């Protein structure tokens, strides 16, 4: 990600801003550039002949889509390589230099998950990522773009499906939207986008592209015009050819002779009228082999072709998994030098020198890019045995590199995209030994941790269907994946469907493992939690009581799984109106956690908060307040005053004081909590707005109607600005305001 310190920055430095979420006081540096922006290719040339006037067309408030020109059916494989992304990159930098934008957001738009990740990164870049799931952060950022007066540009690169932008479309008089897509049908009419076809280069542009890479030696440039014509002015073919000619010492005439010969061979082999790029990429691969002897370039390309070409983390290619894979394919066992990480990275640099890859400038980490079109050609060309080994090595490499934390980092987003590409390209190859490769589970869990709830549900649903097809619906592996689907559905608020999946998991595990197996008991706990969320607390109590008894018998009363089951049972009992039973269970669990984990352990504090909630539900406000105070003190001491869990505990204590009629304490706690939320997630975040609504209610109850009305009016104005139309929170605040004022 690139922000404020970008070397082309010409903005006015640090400013106090209101970002998405509206948090005044966030320090941001304008202008802000965010997203995995590809570097400009060496020898890049503008398109005055074939794509004139893009800068005049993409004016503030406009949307422009760069699409491929309709080409002959014989070269459809290469139609996406017409230079759309490079053109978008050049325009973005030109606008940045002018200076024409304060906010430039580059989003790889190949999937819903990728779009959400890109918008979350953009919100974070201006200091406004905040809490909440990815969908809510992205929606707030898009809404902010629509309202801000700061000039901005959003580039949606390689859009594949309009549905991936549903609810996230930025608009507004200060902004520009630039789309690149290989599929013109992905641009719906309601976007009112001006579509600009991007054809092959004109002869003048092609000569400029080629000459831009070559030396001034007239011998090297000899035959340039004839070569350009033979290559059909195809941008991809020119990129391959210019890279090889520029660094190999051959001339344009030499390259043309080789090209004509290879093209004739392909035609004789049955490939009528192959695209120029379908010929030139083979030369580039051979040249890379010449530059990196002892490394199987074919195997390296086969692996890279499995992953997401928009940005493969460079560290993937230096993992032990890839090193070992290349060592075997390079003939290490036959006495040749074994591959090592540095030799592998040198081979990547050779592929860059040959024009088949690009490498971002050194960063955290550098990204390796390869055209999706070239990837498709490579996948079609490699033998099945090489293809399968490459897929397994790629899966092992992603697993080896995956970070334990940072679910919203650039690295995690790139790895998720690579895993999605691998799953699409490798099909059933990475399902071995009666299970799916662990990286597929890890990718889904990463979606869960990143708050990508919608994409996570879709991912687990597809993975469950694949597992059912390959392993069968009763397989323990399928049941495990189905359990992850249930958890994703719970996170997405779809408790009824989640319960159905948890019931299926419970039935399957009980049938295969027995009803008292720990995995079957765990499924009961999940089912009970889903039933509570559905409003079926009485049914949940029965299921969870069985789970607690079974876990105590199998694992012991102090086992962490038993304690978790007991707390779920307590929550269900409280929801069912059985407050005394809930209090008893929470006390039991809290005492066990304090003894085994300590008072300051997060799980211990969570159990203490549950006990306080149960006291409050039972009308024992004095005990509730005392317990809330203990939890708040522990969280402040271990997590800090502004941690989300601390703020939650302070808000609960405020509510308990309000219920007990201790209005002075309630007001102070609500004000402190609201201030904490404003500092951490912003004034317009839904959680902040909800907390301020409680504060307004407390103002009114303590005889301060003026303060209550002023705060409610502010809440409504900010909610209408930052939340989607018709949001329940906005409607609720409007109803409260109406009741207070007696209007309407």
User: What's 172's domain CATH number?
Assistant: 3.40.50.300
490 in any annotated domain: no
Contact 576, 538 (CB under 8 A): yes
Phi and psi for 519 in degrees, rounded to 5?
-70, -35
Cα–Cα distance measured from residue 649 to residue 647, given in angstroms and rounded to the nearest whole number: 5
What are the distances in angstroms from CA 475 to CA 439, 444, 503? 19, 19, 15
Tens digit of each residue's pLDDT (9 = 90 or more) over 411-459: 899 999 999 999 999 978 999 888 999 999 999 999 999 999 999 999 9
Q: Which sign, positive or negative, has the C-alpha torsion 706, 712, 718, 720?
A: negative
End-to-end CA distance of the chain: 50
> Look-up: residue for tokens 């720990």?
518
Residues 256 and 141 in one domain: no
Hey, what are 385's tokens? 């045995």
20: left (phi over 0), alpha (psi -120 to 50) or beta: beta
Cα–Cα distance measured from residue 503 to residue 497, given in angstroms and rounded to the nearest whole number: 10
Residues 26 and 83 in one domain: yes
DSSP label of 543 = H
Contact 26, 127 (CB under 8 A): yes
* pLDDT in the model for residue 337: 54
- E-only strand ranges, 318-417: 358-359, 367-369
* pLDDT in the model for residue 131: 64
Q: Which residues of 368-391 are buried (b: 16+ CB within 10 A; e: fewer)?
A: bbbbbbbbbbbbebbeeebbbbbb
Residues 77 and 54 in one domain: yes
> Look-up: residue for tokens 């503008």?
46
> Which helix (H) or strand (E) covers residue 458, if one does?
helix 453-471
Residues 147 and 237 in one domain: no
* pLDDT in the model for residue 365: 64
Domain count for the chain: 3
> Between helices 537-555 and 518-534, what is the axis angle to 10°?
160
602 in any annotated domain: no
> Look-up: residue for tokens 């269900």?
572
733 in any annotated domain: yes
Beta bridge partners, 179, equal 65, 156
Domain that includes residue 171, residue range: 13-198
364 in any annotated domain: no
Contact 168, 139 (CB under 8 A): yes
Is 431 in a helix, a strand, or coil?
A: strand
Angle at 55 between CA 52 and CA 60, to 5 degrees: 145
396 in any annotated domain: no
Give the count of alpha carbons within 13 A of 646, CB side only. Answer: 18
The domain boundary, picked from 253, 268, 288, lies at 288
Residues 192 and 70 in one domain: yes
* pLDDT in the model for residue 73: 37
Name residues of the chain where pLDDT drops below 50.
Answer: 1-27, 72-76, 79, 332-335, 744
What are the distances in angstroms from CA 549 to CA 399, 483, 504, 560? 37, 22, 21, 14
207 in any annotated domain: yes
DSSP 629-683: HHHHHHHHHHH-TTSHHHHHHHHHHHHHHHHTT-HHHHHHHHHHHHHHHHHHT-T
Hey, what are 504's tokens? 């299926």
Q: How far is CA 129 from the centre of its chain?
A: 13
Residues 227 and 172 in one domain: no
Q: Where are the alpha helices (DSSP H) in 36-159?
A: 54-57, 84-97, 112-125, 134-147
Cα–Cα distance measured from residue 284 to residue 244, given in angstroms and rounded to the nearest whole number: 7
Residues 32 and 84 in one domain: yes
Residues 46 and 85 in one domain: yes
Comparing CA positions, the residue from 311, 328, 310 lying closest to residue 320 is: 328
The domain boundary, picked from 288, 322, 346, lies at 288
DSSP 167-192: T-----TTEEEEEE-S-GGGS-GGG-
Q: Going by C-beta distance under 8 Å and a sequence separation of 6 or more, which residues neighbour residue 626? A: none
Residues 71 and 218 in one domain: no
Query: How many other C-beta atoms lie within 10 A of the C-beta of residue 62?
Result: 14
Angle at 198 between CA 195 and CA 203, to 5 degrees: 150
> Look-up: residue for tokens 């592929």?
351
212 in any annotated domain: yes
627 in any annotated domain: no
Contact 211, 251 (CB under 8 A): no
Residues 217 and 179 in one domain: no
Residues 52 and 188 in one domain: yes
> Between helices 235-248 and 276-291, what is the axis angle to 10°?
30
Is 367 in a helix, a strand, or coil?
A: strand
Contact 355, 242 (CB under 8 A): yes
Hey, what are 627's tokens? 């317990």
119: left (phi over 0), alpha (psi -120 to 50) or beta: alpha
Contact 237, 206 (CB under 8 A): no
Contact 664, 626 (CB under 8 A): no
Residues 168 and 227 in one domain: no
Q: What is the length of the chain?
A: 744
The domain boundary, picked from 146, 172, 198, lies at 198
> Look-up: residue for tokens 């920055």?
9
DSSP label of 355 = T
Contact 200, 232 (CB under 8 A): yes
DSSP 17-45: E--TT--TTEEEEESEEES-PPPPPTT--
């Amino acid at each position: 990600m690139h922000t404020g310190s970008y070397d082309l920055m010409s903005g006015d430095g640090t400013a106090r801003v209101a970002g998405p979420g509206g948090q005044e006081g966030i320090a941001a540096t304008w202008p802000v550039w965010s997203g995995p922006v590809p570097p400009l290719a060496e020898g890049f040339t503008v398109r005055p002949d074939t794509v004139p006037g893009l800068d005049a067309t993409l004016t503030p408030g406009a949307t422009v889509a760069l699409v491929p020109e309709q080409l002959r059916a014989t070269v459809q494989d290469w139609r996406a390589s017409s230079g759309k992304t490079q053109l978008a990159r050049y325009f973005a930098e030109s606008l940045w230099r002018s200076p024409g934008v304060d906010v430039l957001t580059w989003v790889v738009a190949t999937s819903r998950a990728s779009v959400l990740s890109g918008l979350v990164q953009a919100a974070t870049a201006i200091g406004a990522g905040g809490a909440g799931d990815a969908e809510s952060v992205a929606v707030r950022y898009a809404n902010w773009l629509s309202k801000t007066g700061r000039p901005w540009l959003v580039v949606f690169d390689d859009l594949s499906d309009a549905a991936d932008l549903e609810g996230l479309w930025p608009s507004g008089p200060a902004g520009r939207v630039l789309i690149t897509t290989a599929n013109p049908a992905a641009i719906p009419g309601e976007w009112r986008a001006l579509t600009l076809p991007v054809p092959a280069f004109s002869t003048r542009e092609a000569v400029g592209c080629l000459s831009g890479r070559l030396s001034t030696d007239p011998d090297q440039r000899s035959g340039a015009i004839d070569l350009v014509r033979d290559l059909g002015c195809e941008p991809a073919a020119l990129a391959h050819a210019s890279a090889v000619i520029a660094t190999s010492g051959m001339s344009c005439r030499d390259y043309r002779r080789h090209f004509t010969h290879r093209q004739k061979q392909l035609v004789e082999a049955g490939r009528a009228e192959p695209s120029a790029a379908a010929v030139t990429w083979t030369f580039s691969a051979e040249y890379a082999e010449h530059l990196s002897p002892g490394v199987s370039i074919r195997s390296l390309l086969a692996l890279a072709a499995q992953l997401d070409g928009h940005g493969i983390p460079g560290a993937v290619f230096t993992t032990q998994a890839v090193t070992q894979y290349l060592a075997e394919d390079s003939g290490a066992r036959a006495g040749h030098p074994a591959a090592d990480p540095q030799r592998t990275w040198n081979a990547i640099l050779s592929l860059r020198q040959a024009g088949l890859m690009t490498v971002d400038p050194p960063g955290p980490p550098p990204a390796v890019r390869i055209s999706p079109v070239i990837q498709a050609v490579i996948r079609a060309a490699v033998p099945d045995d090489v293809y399968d080994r490459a897929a397994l090595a790629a899966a092992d490499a992603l697993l080896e590199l995956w970070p334990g934390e940072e679910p919203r980092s650039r690295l995690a987003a790139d790895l998720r995209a690579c895993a999605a590409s691998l799953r699409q390209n490798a099909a059933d190859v990475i399902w071995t030994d009666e299970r799916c490769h662990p990286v597929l589970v890890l990718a889904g869990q990463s979606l869960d941790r990143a708050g990508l709830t919608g994409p996570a549900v879709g991912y687990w649903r597809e993975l469950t269907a694949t597992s059912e097809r390959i392993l069968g619906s009763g397989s323990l592996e399928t049941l495990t994946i189905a359990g992850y689907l249930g958890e994703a559905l719970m996170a997405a608020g779809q408790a009824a469907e989640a319960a159905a999946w948890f019931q299926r998991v419970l039935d399957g595990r009980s049938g295969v493992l027995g009803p008292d197996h720990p995995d079957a008991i765990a499924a009961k706990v999940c089912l009970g939690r889903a039933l509570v969320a559905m409003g079926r607390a009485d049914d949940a109590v029965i299921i969870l009581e069985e789970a607690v008894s079974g876990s105590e018998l199998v694992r012991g009363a102090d086992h962490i799984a038993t304690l978790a089951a007991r707390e779920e049972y307590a929550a269900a009992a409280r929801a069912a109106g059985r407050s005394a039973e809930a209090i008893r269970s929470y006390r039991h669990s809290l005492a066990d956690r304090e003894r085994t984990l300590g008072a300051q352990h997060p799980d211990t504090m969570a159990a203490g908060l549950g006990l306080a909630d149960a006291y409050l539900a039972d009308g024992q406000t004095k005990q509730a307040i005392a317990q809330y105070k203990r939890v708040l003190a522990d969280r402040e001491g271990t997590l800090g005053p502004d941690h989300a869990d601390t703020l939650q505990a302070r808000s609960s204590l405020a509510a308990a004081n309000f219920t007990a009629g201790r209005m002075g304490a309630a007001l102070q706690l609500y004000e402190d909590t609201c201030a904490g939320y404003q500092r951490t997630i912003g004034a317009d975040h839904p959680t902040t707005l909800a907390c301020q609504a409680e504060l307004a209610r407390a103002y009114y109850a303590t005889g301060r109607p003026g303060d209550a009305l002023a705060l409610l009016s502010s809440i409504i104005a900010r909610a209408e600005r930052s939340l989607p139309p018709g949001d329940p929170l906005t409607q609720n605040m409007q109803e409260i305001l109406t009741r207070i004022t007696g209007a309407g």
